């Protein structure tokens, strides 16, 4: 989940200048110093904001909770935002791409397949509008922001394994970090920030990159103060141009015994339900599988203890090919009565492209039954491009099951049962 | 430690259980506080279930937990921002030294005075606002009023904790006195003038929370820089709560202005008589309320030249607003600042040592911040396509403290004669008739989602709840 280079689209955090009262609470709260102001406006620096949402609850006005989908190259700069009297409207991504194409280098088709072609004149899909802002009721309490950029803690690498087949175009690692005696409690679905050593071309220290935790709450190795990450080595940008991702290459090249600077934990909503008979529907692509692995593993450990009556687990997992799918081997070993797994490959030679939303429609009967159950929570994690297709598939499946979609989606959102985390 | 111990009688994150003397002192003070709340807190509300936020920890996730609470059962507690290891003093003669965890003997009297003065404003505003619930324009506004009230109560706790923990017997006596003074009481008034004024209606309440709670924000910001670390940590957390109070004021006035503009446009008139007849508050009255609350509030910053202010700064007791963001030497010994005085019947500028002018520095920062918000009210008028604009009066208008006290001045900054003042004061400050008119609009509206005619609904509800949410369940 290297947010800096994984995709060309940013869900930019902005503040509504018409509602904001300039009380400074967000600036005082922000753990990474991303909020700044002048005499006129309070604004969020897109280069620093890590979407930790720490500023949301303390805002007295609600002006803080605004988001704009923009091309990264077109992100609103701090200067631009300081000049705003009102929030700019949503500009369709296609239009933004068009503008970029005409006045900068030509943009080839994006590497990730667009899930659904936007129809002309249709509003841009905004996944954030569907995602819950609260965790499900039985979520455990998450600790957040124990370590900020001014006071990171150190972790030691105790494992670094490749979890995809050997290939030229892809290389995904499972990295285990141990915190020794330092407290670093995390829950499945939370993320941490890795601060790469050194500085960028301008001589500024690298900013932290965020990665989802891939291990359950009691450690990658149960009872140890460690956790794991799923990191894909970034070798090219979304346009296919060679770029070495700073943090992902640093992480993939780590040796056992190396020390890493860590901040966090982050995230207080993308958390799993813990009550008996709660069901979990997981939909992910690539390294978006990290939180799903964490949740699945926690449920697997509970099941092994014999003391927890789990609900159903259903996983829809997409990758370009079988070889590229992280944890492909171990996934095959999970009992079928424990988890219902569906894998989609979009680039298998000689086979038609299949995306996670295709599988969801195929399994509409089972998925629909789960959606009818108020004990079901749905988690989506992966590339931004999958969001719209997945939500539309959920809608179709729900309607097929005789559910009223608007009622269902608002219940899912209100009750903290639908979570989208894309990058 | 940042989570709050709710199993204790007094919720706290300061390990109160380990300090038995202090715990006993506070537990003796607590029933007196509850009695005070019952006597002069919000009138007739003890059985209402109010949708309030309560802090459960001081980190961003924990301090804004919402739920229904009966106000006398609100968990008032003692919450300090986490300590910063090795915090050093940022300004004054002790700059660079370690921050104090205890009160140095030589600064004891001054620190106590600062804490008592700040602490006295908190119960005062609850007393000033106690009748407002009877005339609320909506459930939404009623809830906001109560939120402000309980948090002012908590701010009193914050100051009382410091007094009881760090000032021994004197502190205990001061803590009792804080519950004995009464806003507007001739024999035992609150310490500061503005806190003895009445808050008779909701326009006054919104103006009060906009201007006077903003004074609170600036005072707290200055104290959040203090070398006395417990005071800095306490006020830092109070600032987070204070933000809601200013939101209530800014959005409240903005909604009043919005409704007025709507009525003016509907009737195509700017005649105040017609606007009033249509049940809205004319912009002239709003401007006069603004003039009053602004001028009364800027008096709160104290005399424009003050050796006490210099002492407080140099000794590290009280910094400036955003001290850490200023790029000067943070000692200010040889610097100067321009203040106003009256010379030969005219206003004139005078350069004085900056250290003596720190009240004026804080006042000017406040003015800048206030003006920005008024600009946002004007945006509402502009958006309605009307040419009128609200503005702050000159800072020498209607002053009662400092070198400008008592001079007769028009809001535009002209020194005027006594007869002219008497002739025009009704255009500049709210008249009895203005107040009576505003009072006549104050009917009680408590049906969820309904708003009194003189005020527009808010843009969004509290804590992402809908506007027609049942914010108060009447017991």
* CATH number of the domain bearing residue B251: 1.10.620.20
Each of the 475 residues of chain B gets a pLDDT tens digit; together they read: 445 565 667 888 888 888 999 999 999 999 999 999 999 999 989 899 999 998 877 777 777 788 999 999 998 989 898 888 889 999 999 999 999 999 999 999 999 999 999 999 999 999 999 999 999 999 999 999 999 999 999 999 999 999 999 999 999 999 999 999 999 999 999 999 889 988 999 999 999 999 999 999 999 999 999 999 999 999 999 998 899 999 999 999 999 999 999 999 999 999 999 999 999 999 999 999 999 999 999 999 999 999 999 999 999 999 999 898 888 999 999 999 999 988 887 889 999 999 999 999 999 999 999 998 999 999 999 999 999 999 999 999 999 998 899 889 999 988 999 999 999 999 999 999 999 999 999 999 999 999 999 999 999 899 888 899 999 999 7
Using the predicted structure, report yes or no on whether residue A112 has a pLDDT greater than 80.
Answer: no
**Nearest neighbour of A21 by CB, restricted to B61, B373, B459:** B373
Nearest Cα residue in chain B from A142: B61
Q: Which of A37, A61, A151, A183 to mutate to test the interface with B (most CBs of B within 10 A)?
A: A61
Q: Is the dihedral of CA B90, B94, B98, B101 positive or negative?
A: negative
DSSP state of A118: P
Instruction: Give me A405's structure tokens.
Output: 């979609």
Determine, for residues A145 and B59 on separate chains, whether the beta-carbon distance falls below 8 Å. Answer: yes
Q: pLDDT class for A167, splitting at 50, 70, 90?
A: low
Q: Report pLDDT for A40.
A: 82
* Cβ atoms of residues A364 and A401 within 8 Å: yes
Q: Report pLDDT for B255.
A: 97
- Chain A positions in Cβ-Cβ contact with residue B246 (cut-off 8 Å): 21, 23, 60
Higher pLDDT, A165 or B293: B293
Q: Report pLDDT for A117.
A: 36
Answer yes or no: is B9 within a domain. Answer: no
Q: pLDDT class for A119, splitting at 50, 70, 90?
A: very low
CA distance B407 to chain A (A): 31
Answer yes or no: is B11 within a domain. Answer: no
Determine, for residues A40 and B460 on separate chains, whether the beta-carbon distance falls below 8 Å. Answer: no
- Average pLDDT score, chain A: 85
**Nearest neighbour of B247 by CB, restricted to A21, A31, A40:** A21
Q: Report pLDDT for B419.
A: 95
CA distance B351 to chain A (A): 25
**Mean pLDDT value of segment A257-268:** 92
- Average pLDDT score, chain B: 93
Number of domains in chain B: 1
> What does B411-474 look like in DSSP terms, one character per residue?
TTS-B--HHHHHHHHHHHS--HHHHHHHHHH-----STT---TTSPPPSS-GGG--TTS--EE-
Answer yes or no: is B7 within a domain. Answer: no
Q: Report pLDDT for A201.
A: 76
CATH architecture type of domain A279-422: 3-Layer(aba) Sandwich (3.40)
Using the predicted structure, report yes or no on whether residue A355 has a pLDDT greater than 70.
Answer: yes
Q: pLDDT class for A56, splitting at 50, 70, 90?
A: confident
- Phi, psi angle pair for B306, to nearest 5°: -150, 120
Using the predicted structure, report yes or no on whether residue A166 has a pLDDT greater than 80.
Answer: no
Rounded Cα distance between B391 and B56, Å, is 40
Answer yes or no: is B4 within a domain. Answer: no
Using the predicted structure, report yes or no on whether residue A38 has a pLDDT greater than 70.
Answer: yes
Lowest mean pLDDT among A54-68, A160-174, B92-106: A160-174
- Chain A positions in Cβ-Cβ contact with residue B250 (cut-off 8 Å): 21
Dump pLDDT digits (tens) for A316-328. Answer: 999 888 888 888 7
Determine, for residues A19 and B460 on separate chains, whether the beta-carbon distance falls below 8 Å. Answer: yes
CA atoms within 13 A on the CB side of A322: 8
Determine, for residues A54 and B247 on separate chains, whether the beta-carbon distance falls below 8 Å. Answer: no
Q: Report pLDDT for A115.
A: 36
Q: Which of B61, B224, B367, B377 to mutate to test the interface with A (most CBs of A within 10 A)?
A: B61
Determine, for residues A144 and B460 on separate chains, whether the beta-carbon distance falls below 8 Å. Answer: no
**Nearest neighbour of B247 by CB, restricted to A31, A54, A60:** A60
CA B330 from chain centre, in angstroms, equals 27
Using the predicted structure, report yes or no on whether residue A366 has a pLDDT greater than 50.
Answer: yes
Determine, for residues B372 and A39 on separate chains, whether the beta-carbon distance falls below 8 Å. Answer: yes
For the segment(s) A9-111, the CATH number from 1.10.150.20, 3.20.20.80, 3.30.70.20, 3.40.50.300 is: 3.30.70.20
Higher pLDDT, A83 or A4: A83
Answer yes or no: is B203 within a domain. Answer: yes
Q: Is A168 helix (H, G, I), strand (E, B) or coil?
A: coil
Q: Which of B54, B57, B60 to mutate to test the interface with A (most CBs of A within 10 A)?
A: B60
- Chain B positions in Cβ-Cβ contact with residue A65 (cut-off 8 Å): 464
**Pairs across A and B, CB distance < 8 A:** 65
**Nearest neighbour of B61 by CB, restricted to A25, A39, A57:** A57
* Cβ atoms of residues B375 and B441 within 8 Å: no
What lies within 8 Å, CB to CB, of B163 at 6+ separation is B112, B115, B116, B119, B170, B171, B172, B174, B175
Dump pLDDT digits (tens) for B326-360. Answer: 889 999 999 999 999 888 878 899 999 999 999 99
Q: pLDDT class for A111, splitting at 50, 70, 90?
A: very low
Query: Tell me: domain A153-266, CATH 2.40.30.10, correct?
Result: yes
Neighbours of B296 (CB within 10 A): 23
- Chain A positions in Cβ-Cβ contact with residue B323 (cut-off 8 Å): none
Please state the domain extents for chain A. 9-111, 153-266, 279-422
Nearest Cα residue in chain A from B1: A146
Q: pLDDT class for A122, splitting at 50, 70, 90?
A: very low
**Mean pLDDT value of segment A143-169:** 85
What pTM was estimated for this model as a whole?
Answer: 0.66
- Chain B positions in Cβ-Cβ contact with residue A54 (cut-off 8 Å): 59-61
Lowest mean pLDDT among A67-81, A235-249, A261-275, B445-459: A235-249
User: ∠A339-A342-A344 over CA atoms, to 5°?
Assistant: 155
Q: Which residues from B are below 8 Å from A when comparing CB atoms?
A: 59-61, 63-64, 217, 236, 239-240, 242-244, 246-247, 250-251, 368-369, 372-373, 376, 379, 459-460, 464
**Nearest neighbour of A19 by CB, restricted to B243, B373, B459:** B459
Determine, for residues B464 and A133 on separate chains, whether the beta-carbon distance falls below 8 Å. Answer: yes
Q: Which of A15, A21, A63 to mutate to test the interface with B (most CBs of B within 10 A)?
A: A21
Higher pLDDT, A98 or A271: A271
Instruction: Give me B350's structure tokens.
Output: 């005078």
Rounded Cα distance between A345 and A322, Å, is 7
- Which structural domain range is residue B240 located in? 16-473
CA distance A233 to chain B (A): 33
Determine, for residues B217 and A85 on separate chains, whether the beta-carbon distance falls below 8 Å. Answer: no
Using the predicted structure, report yes or no on whether residue A4 has a pLDDT greater than 50.
Answer: no
- Chain A positions in Cβ-Cβ contact with residue B86 (cut-off 8 Å): none
Q: pLDDT class for A330, splitting at 50, 70, 90?
A: confident
Determine, for residues B372 and A25 on separate chains, whether the beta-carbon distance falls below 8 Å. Answer: no
CA atoms within 13 A on the CB side of B14: 23
Closest CA to B1 of A32, A192, A262, A143: A143
């Amino acid at each position: 989940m290297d947010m800096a280079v994984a995709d060309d689209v940013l869900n930019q955090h902005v503040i509504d200048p018409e509602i904001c009262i300039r009380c400074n609470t967000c600036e005082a709260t922000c753990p990474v110093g991303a909020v700044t102001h002048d005499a006129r406006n309070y604004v969020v620096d897109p280069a620093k904001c890590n979407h930790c949402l720490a500023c949301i609850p303390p805002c007295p006005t609600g002006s803080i909770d605004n988001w704009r989908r923009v091309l990264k190259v077109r992100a609103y700069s701090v200067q631009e935002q300081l000049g705003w009297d009102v929030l700019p409207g949503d500009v369709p991504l296609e239009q933004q791409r068009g503008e970029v194409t005409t006045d900068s280098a030509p943009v080839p088709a994006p590497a990730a397949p667009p899930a659904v072609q936007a129809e002309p004149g249709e509003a841009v899909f905004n996944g954030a509008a569907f995602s819950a802002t609260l965790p499900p009721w039985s979520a455990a309490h998450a600790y957040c922001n124990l370590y900020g950029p001014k006071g990171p803690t150190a972790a030691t690498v105790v494992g670094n394994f490749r979890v995809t087949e050997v290939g030229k175009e892809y290389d995904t690692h499972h990295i285990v970090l141990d915190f020794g005696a330092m407290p670093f409690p995390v829950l499945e679905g939370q993320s941490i920030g890795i601060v790469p050593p050194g500085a960028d071309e301008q001589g500024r220290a690298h900013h932290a990159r965020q990665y989802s935790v891939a291990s359950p709450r009691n450690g990658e190795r149960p009872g140890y103060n460690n956790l794991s990450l799923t990191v894909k080595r970034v070798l090219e940008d979304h346009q296919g141009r060679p770029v070495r991702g700073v943090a992902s290459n640093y992480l993939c090249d780590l040796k056992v015994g190396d020390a890493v600077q860590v901040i966090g934990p982050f995230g207080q909503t993308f958390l799993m339900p813990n009550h008996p008979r709660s069901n979990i529907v997981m939909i992910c692509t690539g390294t978006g599988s990290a939180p799903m692995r964490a949740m699945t593993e926690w449920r697997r450990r509970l099941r092994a203890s014999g003391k927890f009556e789990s609900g159903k687990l259903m996983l829809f997992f997409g990758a370009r090919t079988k070889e590229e799918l992280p944890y492909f081997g171990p996934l095959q070993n999970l009992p079928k009565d424990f988890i219902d797994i569906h894998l989609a490959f979009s680039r298998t030679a000689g086979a038609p492209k299949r995306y996670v939303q295709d599988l969801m429609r195929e399994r509409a009967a089972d998925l629909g039954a789960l959606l009818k159950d108020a004990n079901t929570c749905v988690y989506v994690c992966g590339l931004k491009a999958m969001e719209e297709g997945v939500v539309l598939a959920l809608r179709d499946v729900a309607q097929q099951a005789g559910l009223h979609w608007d009622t269902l989606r608002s219940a899912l959102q209100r009750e903290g049962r639908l979570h989208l985390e894309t990058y | 430690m940042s989570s709050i111990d709710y199993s204790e009688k007094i919720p706290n994150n300061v390990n109160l259980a380990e300090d038995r003397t202090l715990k006993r002192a506070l537990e003796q003070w607590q029933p007196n506080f509850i009695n005070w709340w019952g006597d002069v807190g919000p009138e007739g509300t003890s059985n209402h279930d109010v949708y309030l936020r309560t802090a459960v920890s001081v980190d961003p996730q924990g301090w804004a937990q919402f739920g229904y609470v009966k106000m006398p059962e609100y968990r008032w507690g003692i919450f300090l921002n986490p300590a910063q290891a090795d915090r050093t003093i940022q300004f004054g003669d002790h700059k660079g030294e370690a921050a104090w965890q205890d009160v140095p003997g030589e600064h004891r009297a001054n620190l106590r005075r600062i804490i008592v003065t700040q602490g006295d404003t908190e119960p005062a505003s609850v007393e000033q606002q106690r009748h407002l619930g009877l005339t609320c324009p909506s459930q939404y506004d009623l809830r906001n009023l109560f939120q402000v009230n309980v948090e002012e109560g908590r701010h009193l706790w914050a100051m009382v904790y410091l007094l009881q923990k760090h000032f021994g017997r004197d502190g205990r006596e001061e803590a009792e006195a804080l519950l004995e003074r009464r806003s507007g009481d001739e024999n035992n008034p609150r310490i500061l003038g503005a806190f003895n004024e009445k808050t008779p209606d909701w326009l006054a309440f919104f103006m009060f929370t906009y201007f006077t709670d903003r004074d609170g924000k600036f005072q707290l910001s200055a104290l959040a820089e203090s070398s006395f670390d417990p005071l800095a940590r306490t006020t830092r957390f109070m600032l987070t709560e204070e933000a809601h109070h200013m939101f209530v004021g800014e959005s409240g006035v903005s909604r009043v202005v919005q409704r007025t503009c709507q009525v003016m446009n509907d009737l195509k008139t700017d005649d105040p008589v017609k606007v009033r007849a249509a049940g809205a508050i004319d912009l002239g009255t709003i401007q006069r309320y603004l003039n009053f609350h602004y001028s009364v509030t800027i008096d709160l910053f104290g005399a424009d030249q003050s050796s006490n202010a210099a002492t407080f700064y140099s000794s590290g007791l009280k910094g400036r607003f955003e001290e850490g963001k200023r790029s000067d030497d943070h000692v200010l010994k040889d610097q100067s600042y321009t203040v106003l005085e009256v010379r030969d019947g005219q206003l004139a500028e005078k350069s004085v040592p900056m250290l003596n002018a720190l009240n004026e520095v804080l006042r000017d920062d406040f003015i800048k911040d206030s003006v920005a918000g008024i600009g946002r009210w004007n945006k509402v008028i502009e958006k309605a396509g009307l040419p009128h604009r609200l503005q702050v009066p000159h800072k020498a208008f209607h002053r009662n403290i400092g070198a400008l006290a008592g001079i007769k001045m028009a809001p535009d900054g002209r020194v005027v004669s006594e007869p002219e003042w008497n002739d025009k004061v009704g255009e500049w400050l709210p008249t009895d008739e203005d107040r009576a008119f505003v009072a006549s609009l104050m009917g009680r509206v408590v049906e969820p989602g309904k708003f009194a005619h003189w005020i527009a609904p808010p843009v969004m509800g509290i804590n992402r709840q809908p506007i027609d949410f049942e914010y108060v369940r009447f017991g």
